[in-house]
Amino acid sequence: MLLPLIVSNCLDSEKIKIIEPILQEHLGPISYVSLQGIKDIILQSSQSAMPLFHIQFGLCTQKGYANPIDGYIHMFCIPIGDPLVVILEKQDVYPSATATVIHHGMERWN
């Protein structure tokens, strides 16, 4: 069985503001959601949570912010073979990581 591979992009608010129209053109409406206290990335240097917003789109979105927030990292993931990857590279936006998706759309659980 092949598992889907995704790329992850992490950008500051200034860069997100530049590429936001491209994301909306390819993904539809987007918003920004914080998962603080749920899925924190703890910085080794300060032992505090990274100020992080996830860009969300599609059917599984939660209520979020309409605009990027200064001082936060804005993260989004797309399939590695998506044409959007190449379009973003032309804007000097390159993936910062890859991941394999094992399951999506699961019921909430801890």
- Per DSSP, the residues of the chain read -PPPEEEEEEEEHHHHHHHHHHHHHHH-SEEEE--TTTS--B-TTTSSB--EEEEEESTT--S-BSS--TTSEEEEEEETT-HHHHHHHTTT---SEEEE----SPPP--
Q: Is the dihedral of CA 44, 92, 53, 7 positive or negative?
A: negative
Rounded-to-integer distance, Cα 107 and Cα 81, Å = 27
Residue spans of the domains in the chain: they are: 5-100
pLDDT of residue 23: 94
pLDDT of residue 22: 95
- 22, 57, 95 from 89: Cα distances, Å: 12, 20, 9
pLDDT of the chain, 110 residues: tens digit per residue = 566 778 888 999 999 999 999 999 999 999 999 877 777 676 678 888 778 888 998 877 778 889 999 999 999 888 888 999 999 999 999 888 888 877 666 665 54
